Amino acid sequence: FSLETQTSIGYGFRSVTESCPLAVMAVILQCIVGCIIDAFIIGAVMAKMAKPKKRNDTLVFSDTAVVALRDGKLCMMWRVGNLRKSHLVEAHVRAHVLKPRVTPEGEFLPLDNEDINVGFDTGTDRIFLVSPVTIVHEINSESPFFDMDRRSLEVDAELEVVVILEGMVEATAMTTQCRSSYLASEILWGRRFEPVLFERKNCYQVDYTFFHQTYEIPSTPMCSAKELAKQKFIQSSRSSFC
């Protein structure tokens, strides 16, 4: 009776009549339960098909990070891109540095986690991912890279920068997270990313063949950001004195 009611295949020679109110109530209850079961099954199938894990495959990070001057400041940069036409809602980025550390008390921390600023104070950590975006970390006095020059970065085999991209899938409003990381050997000093966005007549075109490519900037200082800031301070002091 339950199967015949839910699938609407008919009762054959049997039928529910007004003379049996209990059977009528059973049919109504079975129809409601059947609708609920169908809704759960359809929802489960749709959620499986639109799994955020599949969305992660269309979010890409550059193979390397770079260190170069931007707006007169030494910065670490990497690139993120979205291969789908659908948007990633409320997309934002975070980054952490993982490195062993010994505390002043002598405690050894094998994976000390330190957050690095990618624009949280100014809101630039929230990105509109319609085209590849270059994420910028300014190497200032609060940065863990402030004392590092090119040579010290290249020989630091224990350093790893973990980068995270989070957002909501436009179709399902489910949160997705994509992660990548860069070892010290994958952070290229004195290089910059090739352009990927080109203007074609009345529209813009993204060429992902240049997404991972970089080119050398010979004018990039090889010293640390701390030493660079000190040199600028000395030059400004001399100018003021003169």
Using CA atoms, how far residue 197 sits from 34, 71, 131, 150, 193, in Å, is 52, 20, 8, 29, 12
Task: Show the tokens assigned to 133.
Answer: 């975006």
Whether pLDDT at 242 is above 80? no
Instruction: Give the residue, 52 or 198, on which the prediction is more confident.
Output: 198
User: Residue 241: what are its φ and ψ, rounded to 5°?
Assistant: -65, -40
Q: How far apart are the C-alpha atoms of 74 and 138, rounded to whole Å?
A: 6
- Reply yes or no on whether the pLDDT at 56 is more than 80: no
150 residue type, one letter: R
Query: At residue 67, what is the residue type?
Result: V
Percent share of the chain, pLDDT over 70:
88
pLDDT band at 52 (very low <50, low <70, confident <90, very high): low
Using alpha carbons, select from 170, 179, 188 the residue that is nearest to residue 80. 179
How far, CA to CA in Å, does 69 sit from each of 31, 55, 66?
68, 33, 10
CATH of 56-238, one of 2.60.120.330, 1.10.10.10, 2.60.40.1400, 3.90.1150.10: 2.60.40.1400
- What local confidence, expressed as pLDDT, does residue 7 receive? 59
CA–CA dist 154, 212 (Å, integer): 20
How does 198-212 read in b/e, with b if 16+ C-beta sit within 10 Å?
A: eeeeeeeeeeeebbb
SS3 state at 5 = helix
Assigned CATH for 1-50: 1.10.287.70
Helix (H) or strand (E) holding 101: strand 88-102
The more confident residue out of 126 and 19 is 126
Tokens representing 84 are 């789908």
Nearest to 126 by CA among 92, 167, 165, 166: 92
Residue ranges, comma separated, of all CATH 1.10.287.70 domains in the chain are 1-50
Indicate where the chain has its CATH 2.60.40.1400 domain(s): 56-238
Sign of CA dihedral 177, 187, 78, 139: positive
- At residue 11 the predicted structure's pLDDT band, cuts being 50, 70 and 90, is low
Reported as a pLDDT band with limits 50, 70 and 90, residue 161 is: very high
Q: Any idea which of 7-16, 92-101, 129-138, 181-190 has the lowest mean pLDDT?
A: 7-16
Q: What is the pLDDT of residue 9?
A: 57
CA distance 57 to 135: 19
Give the pair of three-digit tokens for residue 193: 């990313």
pLDDT of residue 140: 92
User: How high is the mean pLDDT of the chain?
Assistant: 85
pLDDT > 90 fraction of the chain, expressed in percent and rounded: 42
Q: What is the pLDDT of residue 172?
A: 75
Residue of 93 and 121 predicted with greater confidence:
93
pLDDT in the model for residue 62: 95
Tell me how far CA of residue 16 lies from CA of 5, 32, 33, 146, in angstroms.
11, 17, 18, 82
More confident residue, 176 or 215: 215
Q: Note the pLDDT of residue 241.
A: 46
| Mean pLDDT across 172-186 | 89
Task: Indicate the pLDDT class of residue 21, thresholds 50, 70 and 90.
Answer: confident
Pairing of strands 65-70, 88-102: unpaired
pLDDT at 116: 92
